[in-house]
Structure 1
Amino acid sequence: MTRSFSLFQVLIFNFFFTFGFIRVLSLSSDGLALLALKSAVGEPSAAFADWNNGDPTPCAWSGIACANISGEADPRVVGIALAGKGLSGYLPSELGTLRFLRRLNLHDNAFSGVLPPQLSNATALHSLFLHRNNLSGPIPSSLCSLPRLQNLDLSENAFSGHVPESLKNCKNLQRLILAGNKLSGEIPGGVWPELPNLVQLDLSANELTGSIPNEIGTLISLSGTLNLSFNHLSGKIPASLGKLPATVSFDLKNNNLSGEIPQTGSFSNQGPTAFLENPNLCGFPLRKSCSGSDRDISRGPDQNKPVDRSKGLTPGLIILISVADAAVVALIGLVIVYIYWKKKDDENACSCIRKRRFGEEEKGGVCVCGGFSCVSGVKSDDDDNNGDYEVEGGDGEGEGELVRIDKGLSFELDELLRASAYVLGKSGLGIVYKVVLGNGVPVAVRRLGEGGEQRYKEFAAEVMAIAKVKHPNVVRLRAYYWAHDEKLLISDFISNGNLAHSLRGRNGQPSTNLSWSTRLRIAKGTARGLSYLHECSPRKFVHGDIKPSNILLDNDFQPYISDFGLNRLISITGNNPSTGGFMGGALPYMKSSQKERTNSYKAPEARVPGNRPTQKWDVYSFGVVLLEILTGRSPESSPTTSSSMEVPDLVRWVRKGFDQESPLSEMVDPSLLQEVRVKKEVLAVFHVALTCTEGDPDARPRMKTVSENLDKIGT
C-alpha cells in the first residue's frame, strides 16, 4: 500500500512539473526576455504585477507595447516604458534578444551596473532613454552598431571613460545627451561630420578636457542649445561654430576657455550668459574688452619708460598744436549746433512716424514712413540688464526706449519705424503687424496701446519675465519699445498660420496637409511648450487662453504657443482685453470665418466670475484642443443655462460616444479614416484628452504628465 501511494505521489509531481513547464514554454520568446528583466530587478515591484509567465504573449503587460510585424505570426514587443517606477537592479543582456524593440524607456529609476553590449543585437532600436539612473562603466562602442538609433539619452548616470569615437557610426542619430556623467578626455573631432541629422548635443557637466573641436561647426542640422558647459575645456572657441544655424544657442559657461569670442555668424545671436565663468574669455558680448589687455601685453619694456621732455618743443610744433586745438574747438561747436537742430527736427517727426507707422489709419496695406528718425542717441544700460539686452533712445525713465532683449535679432529703432509693415489684425490684445527689417528678416510687431504712462517699471518687469521663456514650442519675444504714447512688442514671425486654419481652413474646409502623424506632432509639441510654461518658466505661467488660434505653425508644422502673459501687459497699458490675440502672428493666423468662441475651450470653473486662473484651466483647454484635433469638429458653446458650469458640446459628445461604446469611426475626423494603422494611437490620444477634460480640476493631470503620456504614443 505504501509503495502504491509513493508511486501516486510521483505521478502527481510529474503532472504538475510538466504542466508548469509547458505553461512557461507557452510564453513567447519576447516574454521570456522580459521575465529576465523582471528577475534582474532587486525587489518586487508593482510595475510587474500583471507580468504572468502563463500568458501566451506579454502584449497585455503593463509598460509593454506590441505591434504586428510583417512575416511574424504573433505580435512582437516594440516598446518598453517603465520610467519612474523606482526600479533597481541591473539591465539583463536578454534585452538584446528583442529583435523588434524600437523604444526602451527606463529613465528615472535606480538601475546600476553596466550597459550590456548585447543590447546592440536589438537592431530595430531607435530610442534609448536611460537618463537619471545609476549606470556606470564605459559607454559600449557596440551601441552604434544599431542601424536605426536616433535618440540616445544616457544623462545623469555615472558613465566614465571617453566619448566613444564609434558614435560616428550612428548615422541616423538625432539626439545625443550624455550630460551629468563622469566622461573624461578630449571631445573626439572625427565624430561630428558623420552625424548630419544631429539636432541636439549635450555633453555638459562631465570632466571633459582639451579644446572644442572645429568639426562641431559642421552640425548643420543642430537646433536648440549646443551645451558644453561645466567641463574643463580650454583653448580658444573655434570660429567654425559661427557656421551653425542662427537658431542655435551656445552654452559654454564654466570652462577654461580663453581668447576673444569670435564675432562671425551665429556668435552674433548669443547673449553673455553663454560664456560666463571662463575667466580668460574676452570680447562681445562680455563686458571684458580684449583690446586693453592686448595692448598692455604688446608693449615692450622700452615703451614703458618715461619720455625725456628736457629738450622741450620746437616753435613749429607749438604753432601746429595751436592750430589743431582751434580746429577741434570749432568742430565741436558745429557738432553741438547740428545735434541741437537735429533733435528739434526729430521731436517734430516722431509723432508723425508713430501715428502713420503704428496708428489707426492703416487699412491692411503697406504703411511706409521714411526719412525720419526718432533716435536721439544710444545708451547701454549694462548695470540694469547685466548685458542681456540693449536699450536704444530715451532718457532711462521709460521715454522712447527700444529694448533688445537678446542678440538674436539685430536692428535699429529707425529701421523698425521705417520698414514696410503689413497690418495683420486688430483685437482687444492690440494691432499686429508683419514688419520686414532691412536684412530681410520678418518680425511680428504688436501695438499694445498708449496708456500706462506711470507704470513703466511694472511693464518692463512683466516683459522681461515673458522674454526669459525660451522653448522650441513657444513664440520667442525679441524686443519691446516703450514710450508714453506707444508700446510695442517685437517677436519671432511664425510663417504658416495657426492650428485653427489648418484644421478648418479659412473657408471652413480642412487642410489636406494634416495627416495623423502631423496632428500627433502638433499635439506633442504643444504639450511640451505648455508643460514648460507651467513647470520650468521663471513665473510658472498660467496661459489662460489655450485654443487653436493661439497655436502657431511653421512650415514643418511645428507648433508654437503664443499670447501667454499678454492680459497682464494689457491691464498695465490700460486697454480692455478681449478674445483676440496674435502675438508672433501673421495674416494666416487671423481667425477663420467660423468664429471661434473662447468659452468653448475654457474649463467649467473658468466661467465662474471672480475665479483666478490656474494651470488646471490650461490642462482642460488643451484637452478640448486634442478632441478637436482628433474629431475635426470645432467645439460649440453650451446652451445658456442657469448654471455656468456646463461643459462644451464636443466634450459631452465624445464622452457619450465612449460610454455607449460607439465605433471609433463615428467620432474620429473622417480624413483620418484611411490611416487604419494608427487606430491604437488615436484611441490613446482620446484617453489623454478625456483625462484632461475631467470636470473636477483635481482629477486632471499636470501638463508634465500629459506631455510624457503623449510622447509615449506613436514611438
Structure 2
Amino acid sequence: MLNLYINPIFPILFYLNYASPILFFLNYAAALTTDGLSLLSVKSAVDGGDTVFSDWNDSDATPCHWSGVTCANISGDPDARVVGLALAGRSLHGYIPSELGSLVYLRRLNLHDNSFSGSIPDQIFNATSLHSIFLYGNNLTGEIPASICNPSRLQNVDLSHNSISGPLRKSLGNCRQLQRLILGGNNISGEIPSGIFPELANLVQLDLSSNSFNGSLPYDIGQLKSLSGTLNLSFNHFAGKLPASLGDLPLTVSFDLQHNNFSGEIPQSGSFSNQGPTAFLNNPSLCGFPLQKTCRNNSSAIPPGTQASTPAIADNESKKGLKPGLIILISLADAFGVALIGLVIVYLYWRRKDSNGCSCTCKVKFGGNQKSKFCSFPCVNGFPNTDSEAESEKASGAGDASAVSGAAEGGELVAIDKGFSFELDELLRASAYVLGKSGLGIVYKVVLGNGIPVAVRRLGEGGEQRYKEFVAEVQAIGRVKHPNVVKLRAYYWALDEKLLISDFISNGNLASALRGQTSTILSWSTRLKIAKGTARGLAYLHECSPRKFVHGDIKPSNILLDNEHQPHISDFGLNRLINITGNNPSSSGGFMGGALPYLAQTEKVNNYQAPEARVSSNRPTQKWDVYSFGVVLLELLTGKSPEFSSPTSSTSTEISDLVRWVRKGFEEETPLSDMVDPLLLQEVHAKKEVLSVFHLALACTERDFEIRPRMKTVSESLEKIRT
C-alpha cells in the first residue's frame, strides 16, 4: 500500500531547492530587457568596466538611458530596442564581445579610436539590422569575418588602422548595399579576386591603402560607377599594368596609386586624363604622361599638343633652291620690319620728350597699357594719409579730409585693363569712402565721375628697393581674368605710396549674408550658385591662372557677392604684396573690391585653415584652399560658423569644431534635418542635392591632404548637381 504520508518539512525543502532560484531568475529577467543583458557583456569585456560604465546597472528596467546607448520604438515590440552603440574615443581596453550580435535591431556600432584587441567576432554580424560599423583606430587582429555580409543593409564599414590580416574574400561582393569600405592601415594581403567590384554598385568610397596587397588589379574595378572622391590604393605591393578600365570610373574620381609596383604606360583615356603626377609617384616602372618619364619607343606617352620629334627633310627637297615667290615674300617682310622699327624709335623719342615736360596736374587716361609718369601726386581730397584720419573717416562714412599730400615724386601709375579708362585727377579728387582698415591695408570706395565705383586699397609705404618684385607680382595678379575672381584694374607705385584699383562688388560678402547682415536671401539655389561660382574661380586660380596661385585665405568674408548673387573671390596674392611693401599681414582683411557690410564680421583665420596650414614651417599648397573651401561648404549647408561647438564636443586645435560635428553626425546617422540650416528645411526637394554637397565637403576636409580632391574635381562635381 502506497504511503500517503507527506513530511511537513517537504514543502520548505522544495521551495529552497527549486522554486527560489526560478523566482530569482524571473525577477532578474523582469528587471532588465534582453538587449540590456547583451550590453552587459561589453561591461564585462572592458578592463575596469565597473568604473567606466558606472551608469550601466543590471537593476535598471531598460538600457536606453545608459551612456552611449541609443534606443527606438520598433513597430510590434512593446519595449524600446537598442539601435545604436557609440563608445568612440574613450580609451577602452579589452575585447569586443560576441554577445553584441544578439542586438537584432542594432543599426550603428561605433567603437572607433579605442584599444580593443583580439579578432572581430563573426557573431556580431548576426545583428541583421546593422548598416554602419566603425571600428577604426583599435588594435584588432585576425581576418575580416566571413559573415560580414550577413546584414543585408550594411552600408558603412570602416576597419582602418588596426592589424587585421588575411585576404580579401570574394564573398565581400555579397554586401550589395555597401557604400563605404575603408580598410586602410592594416595587414591585409594577397590579390584582390575578380568578381567583387561588379557587385558593389552602390560603393561611393574605397580605401585599401597601406596594406600588403599584391598582384595586379582586377580589370572589373572600372565597374565601380558610383565611386566618388579618391580611390586610394597607395602603399601596397600591387604590380602589373594599370587596367585601362580605371578610365571608366567617373571623371570626378581622383586616383592615389602611390608607392606600388605598377609598370608600363599610364593609359590616356577617361578618368586618367584628369589625374596629376602625384597620383602615380613612386612606381619605378611606370611611365607616360603626366609623369616626367617617357616610355621607350613610344611617342604616345608625350602629352597631347607636343611634337615627339622633328621630321627629317627629304634629300630632294633640301637640294632645291628657294622659289621666286618665296624670295619676294622674304623681301617684303624685311621691309616691313625695318619700317616698324623706325616707327617705334620715333614713338619713344616723342614720348620721352613729353615726359620731360610733364606738369604737376598730370591728367592721365587709364586706357590701354599706358604707363603715365608724373612729377608729383597733387594734394587732393581723396585719401586720408594717417591712421587716425582713416578712423575718423570710417566713423563719418566719407573721406573729405584733405590729407593725402601727395604720393611721392617719381610715382608711376599703370593701367592693367584696356577697357577701363578715367583720368587720374578724377580718381584723386573724388570723395573716398573708407570701407575698412586691416593688415592688408586701408580700402576706400571711390565713385568716379561716370558713376562707376572702384575699390582703392592703400598698401604700405615701404619696399623702396623692391620695385621690380612688386611690379612682377601685381602684373601676375592683373593677368587673372575670371568672372568669379575680383579684377585688378590698375596700380600706382611711388616710394611712399602704393595703391591698387580694382572692381567694386556692391552686395556685401558671404559672411555678412550668412549672418543676416545684408538683404541677400540665401535659398538653396542661391547657396548652390555661390558654391559653384567660388569653386570655378578657385579651380581657375589653381589650374589656369598664369602663376597657378594658392589663395591661402579662403573664407566667407573673401567671397564677395554681386547683385545677381554671383561670387567673386578677393584678396588672392595680397599677402605677398604686403610683405613686399612692409605691412604686417597678420590680420585678414577681406576688403579688396568689397563693400561696407563686410566689416561687420571678423573671423579667426585658423577656423578655415587646414591642419597642416597651422604649422608655420609648411609652405602653402593648393590643398590648403581645398580644405578651406570644404569648411565654407559646411557653413553654407549648416548655417553654423566653424567655431560652432555642440554641447558634447570638445575643443580641438587640429580640426575645426564644425568639421568634427558634421563627421560625427554622419557616423551616427543623425537626421539630416538636425544638421542643415533651418532656413533650408522647407526646401524638401533639395534633400538629395544637400546630401551630395555634404559628401563633397567631407572629402575636401579630409585630414590627409593627399586624399583631398583637386579644386577642378570639386568644381566638376558641383556642376553636376542641379537645382
The normalised TM-score by structure 1 is 0.52
What residue identity is the alignment partner of 1:183? I
Q: Secondary structure at the match of 1:66?
A: strand
- What is the match of residue 262 of structure 1? 267
Matching residue within 206, 209, 212 for 2:214: 209
CA–CA distance in 1 between the matches of 2:237 and 2:162?
19
CA–CA distance in 2 between the matches of 1:88 and 1:580?
49
Q: How has the CA–CA distance of structure 1 residues 505 and 198 changed in structure 2, closer, same or farther, with 3 Å as cutoff?
A: farther
- The Cα shift of 1:333 comes to 12
- What is the match of residue 28 of structure 1? 33
- The Cα shift of 1:572 comes to 3.4
Please show how residues 127-526 of structure 1 align to structure 2 within 5 Å: 127-291=132-296, 320=318, 355-356=416-417, 399=472, 421-422=482-483, 434=484, 444=485, 447=488, 501=513, 507=519, 511=523
CA–CA distance in 2 between the matches of 1:50 and 1:194?
44
Q: Secondary structure at the match of 2:210?
A: coil
- What is the match of residue 85 of structure 1? 90
1:687 and 2:690 aligned: no
- What is the match of residue 474 of structure 1? none
Matching residue within 566, 572, 575 for 2:579: 572
- What is the match of residue 477 of structure 1? none
- The Cα shift of 1:257 comes to 0.7
What residue identity is the alignment partner of 2:167? H
Q: Secondary structure at the match of 1:143?
A: coil
- The Cα shift of 1:35 comes to 0.7
- The Cα shift of 1:47 comes to 3.0
Please show how residues 521-532 of structure 1 align to structure 2 within 5 Å: none
Q: Deviations over 1:142-169 (max 9, x none)?
A: 2123222221111122222222222222
Contact 1:259 1:280 (C-alpha < 8 Å) held by counterparts: yes
Q: How has the CA–CA distance of structure 1 residues 571 and 321 changed in structure 2, closer, same or farther, with 3 Å as cutoff?
A: same
CA–CA distance in 2 between the matches of 1:503 and 1:91?
46
- What is the match of residue 600 of structure 2? 597
Q: Secondary structure at the match of 1:215?
A: helix
CA–CA distance in 1 between the matches of 2:22 and 2:494?
87
Q: How has the CA–CA distance of structure 1 residues 157 and 115 changed in structure 2, closer, same or farther, with 3 Å as cutoff?
A: same
CA–CA distance in 2 between the matches of 1:28 and 1:452?
79
Q: Deviations over 1:654-682 (max 9, x none)?
A: xxxxxxxxxxxxxxxxxxxxxxxxxxxxx
Q: Secondary structure at the match of 1:31?
A: helix
Q: Secondary structure at the match of 2:147?
A: helix
Please show how residues 108-127 of structure 1 align to structure 2 within 5 Å: 108-127=113-132
What residue identity is the alignment partner of 2:417? R
Q: Secondary structure at the match of 2:185?
A: coil
- The Cα shift of 1:32 comes to 0.9
- The Cα shift of 1:293 comes to 8.2
CA–CA distance in 1 between the matches of 2:138 and 2:510?
39
Contact 2:512 2:598 (C-alpha < 8 Å) held by counterparts: no
The normalised TM-score by structure 2 is 0.52
Structure 2 unaligned segments of length 5 or more: list them. Answer: 1-8, 301-313, 349-366, 372-413, 423-445, 448-467, 503-508, 532-549, 562-566, 606-613, 617-629, 670-723
CA–CA distance in 1 between the matches of 2:67 and 2:335?
81
Contact 1:117 1:142 (C-alpha < 8 Å) held by counterparts: yes
CA–CA distance in 2 between the matches of 1:197 and 1:276?
29
- The Cα shift of 1:227 comes to 1.0
Q: Deviations over 1:67-102 (max 9, x none)?
A: 233333232222111122222332222211212222
- The Cα shift of 1:258 comes to 0.7
Q: How has the CA–CA distance of structure 1 residues 396 and 35 changed in structure 2, closer, same or farther, with 3 Å as cutoff?
A: same
- The Cα shift of 1:511 comes to 3.4
- What is the match of residue 426 of structure 2? none
Contact 2:645 2:658 (C-alpha < 8 Å) held by counterparts: no
Structure 1 unaligned segments of length 5 or more: list them. Answer: 296-315, 364-394, 404-412, 423-433, 435-443, 455-483, 489-496, 523-540, 554-559, 604-611, 615-621, 635-650, 652-683, 693-699
Q: How has the CA–CA distance of structure 1 residues 150 and 332 changed in structure 2, closer, same or farther, with 3 Å as cutoff?
A: farther
CA–CA distance in 2 between the matches of 1:223 and 1:453?
51
CA–CA distance in 1 between the matches of 2:234 and 2:522?
46
Q: Secondary structure at the match of 1:208?
A: strand
Q: Secondary structure at the match of 2:123?
A: helix
Contact 2:417 2:489 (C-alpha < 8 Å) held by counterparts: no
Contact 1:627 1:686 (C-alpha < 8 Å) held by counterparts: no
What residue identity is the alignment partner of 1:687? P
Q: Deviations over 1:511-557 (max 9, x none)?
A: 37899xx9xxx9xxxxxxxxxxxxxxxxxx999996x667999xxxx
Q: Deviations over 1:538-587 (max 9, x none)?
A: xxx999996x667999xxxxxx9x9899874563365998987499x9xx
- What is the match of residue 470 of structure 1? none
Contact 2:415 2:490 (C-alpha < 8 Å) held by counterparts: no
What residue identity is the alignment partner of 1:219? L
Q: Secondary structure at the match of 2:188?
A: strand
Q: Which moved more, 1:505-514 or 1:185-194?
A: 505-514
Contact 1:257 1:280 (C-alpha < 8 Å) held by counterparts: yes
Contact 1:137 1:161 (C-alpha < 8 Å) held by counterparts: yes
Q: How has the CA–CA distance of structure 1 residues 58 and 35 changed in structure 2, closer, same or farther, with 3 Å as cutoff?
A: same
What residue identity is the alignment partner of 2:196? V
What residue identity is the alignment partner of 2:600? R
Q: Deviations over 1:593-615 (max 9, x none)?
A: 9878215x679xxxxxxxx999x
Q: How has the CA–CA distance of structure 1 residues 173 and 549 changed in structure 2, closer, same or farther, with 3 Å as cutoff?
A: farther
Q: Secondary structure at the match of 1:356?
A: coil
Q: Which moved more, 1:214-223 or 1:352-361?
A: 352-361
CA–CA distance in 2 between the matches of 1:20 and 1:105?
32
1:72 and 2:77 aligned: yes
- The Cα shift of 1:114 comes to 2.3
Contact 1:152 1:177 (C-alpha < 8 Å) held by counterparts: yes
What residue identity is the alignment partner of 1:356? D
Q: Secondary structure at the match of 1:140?
A: coil
- The Cα shift of 1:711 comes to 3.5
CA–CA distance in 2 between the matches of 1:34 and 1:330?
97
- The Cα shift of 1:704 comes to 5.9
Q: Secondary structure at the match of 1:80?
A: strand
Contact 1:107 1:129 (C-alpha < 8 Å) held by counterparts: yes
- The Cα shift of 1:138 comes to 2.3
CA–CA distance in 1 between the matches of 2:24 and 2:187?
50
Contact 1:503 1:514 (C-alpha < 8 Å) held by counterparts: no
- The Cα shift of 1:685 comes to 7.3
- What is the match of residue 610 of structure 2? none
- The Cα shift of 1:56 comes to 1.1
Contact 1:59 1:65 (C-alpha < 8 Å) held by counterparts: yes
CA–CA distance in 2 between the matches of 1:565 and 1:12?
85
Q: How has the CA–CA distance of structure 1 residues 141 and 12 changed in structure 2, closer, same or farther, with 3 Å as cutoff?
A: closer
Q: How has the CA–CA distance of structure 1 residues 503 and 198 changed in structure 2, closer, same or farther, with 3 Å as cutoff?
A: farther
- The Cα shift of 1:246 comes to 3.3
Q: How has the CA–CA distance of structure 1 residues 688 and 158 changed in structure 2, closer, same or farther, with 3 Å as cutoff?
A: closer
